[in-house]
Structure 1
Amino acid sequence: MRWTVYGERSVYDSPWMDVRLADVELPDGRRFDHHLVRVRPAAGVAAVDGEGRVLLIWRHRFITDQWGWEIPGGRVEPGEDPGEAAARELVEETGYRAGTVRHLLDVRPSPGVHDGVYHIYRADGAERVGAPTDVEAERIEWVPLASVPARAARGEIGSASTLAGLLYLVTAG
């Protein structure tokens, strides 16, 4: 059953997000304003080495007040290719340059609330080229991919996009 959208209006707009109200009608005829958020796309990369490990950052997220492992990533700048954004974020956040980067999947973590898409890439290998320039992590470590399910079960991976990408890698090989 498809909803009818009569229009949208912005309530708050910034470079990070646009909070909007959409005038919608359900198939049963009920019509109301639905809150939604329009966000710019993001991209991240899981750099995997020859030993079955992935390069992750351990960071704190103030919104949820939680620590967790994440793949390096961030916003895709206007006109930027998502794969290039993922590779750029890897260097900025870890000091490692990606090997060959290939697209794995796109994740839309909460399509009932926002239109955000997180493009996830895999890099086969990564070379240390210096210190991170965008320091967001308390630790940067090569973590065994085989440990991902147990880490997720313990709540050590709180990011849905990171979890989706890592579990994809674990199951797809």
Structure 2
Amino acid sequence: MAREWKLLGTRDAFTCRLFKLKVKEFLSPKTGKPHEFYQIETRDWVGIIPLLNEEVILVRQFRHGSEEMSLEIPGGIMDEDDPFGAALRELQEETGFKANKMELLGVLRPQPALFNNRFYVFLATELEKVGDPLPEESEEIELVKMPLDQVLKDMASGKIDHALVLAAFELLRLRYPELLK
């Protein structure tokens, strides 16, 4: 039977604007020996599936980690606000749309082996265009409106390969199976 490990100590290894890298020492319940593990401590994230007239509003942007263009749902890192407020803010900043209806679809752990944070997934409907996108200085975003069935095809073919985007649409399918046939 798997058991919890006892935390013996923590130290900061590196800190930057987006995250802290921590070294954590845990005691193995199996062997009684200490082992070091790394944890990336970062703020929670939000992702939004914006539906407008049976189309999804996606964002295409260059991702420096993969060094490739990525087609994704709007989203970002939470500031000090709550998940709902962060989702409304990120949607408007990245797309120029305001959601008159925002529903939490679920909360996920992006990568619990390394990250300590959560990923809040929202469905945004009853959208209203309120301005132009206002990406951050370090972002260059292209809006892509795509029929929902095409999003599913692009996920199946690997054209959309962002794991959190696929997970977000799975939450949508679980909540509203009639939308994703």
Is this contact kept in 1: 2:105–2:175, CA < 8 A? no
User: Bigger CA drift: 100-109 or 160-169?
Assistant: 160-169
Inter-partner Cα distance in structure 2 for 1:104 and 1:48: 14
Aligned pairs for 1:66-105 within 5 A: 66-78=68-80, 80-105=81-106
Secondary structure, aligned partner of 1:106 = strand
How far is the alpha carbon of 1:138 from its aligned partner? 4.3
CA contact (8 A) 1:41 1:118 kept: yes
Q: Is the 8 A contact 2:9 2:24 kept in 1?
A: yes
Q: 2:43 aligns with which of 23, 29, 40?
A: 40
User: TM-score normalized by structure 1?
Assistant: 0.90
Counterpart in 2 of 1:160?
Answer: 163
Whether the 8 Å contact between 1:4 and 1:25 is mirrored in structure 2 is yes
| Per-residue CA distance 1:79-119 (angstroms, 9 max, x = gap) | x1111101101111111111211111112121001112111
Q: Assess, with a 3 A threshold, how the Cα gap between structure 1 residues 34 and 110 changes in structure 2: closer, same or farther.
A: same
Code of the aligned partner of 2:159 = E
**Structure 2: tracts of 5 or more residues without a match:** 177-181
Q: CA deviation at 1:166?
A: 1.7
For the residue of structure 2 that corresponds to 1:102, the secondary structure is strand
Correspondent of 2:153 among 132, 150, 161: 150
Q: State how far apart, in whole Å, the 1-side matches of 2:69 and 2:126 are.
A: 26
Q: Which moved more, 1:112-121 or 1:23-32?
A: 23-32
Same amino acid, percent of matched pairs: 27
| Partner secondary structure for residue 38 of structure 1 | strand
Runs of 4 or more consecutive aligned structure 1 residues displaced over 4 Å after TM superposition? none
Alignment TM-score, normalising by the size of structure 2: 0.86
Aligned to 1:120: 121
Q: Is the 8 A contact 2:8 2:25 kept in 1?
A: yes
**Corresponding letter in the other structure for 1:139:** E
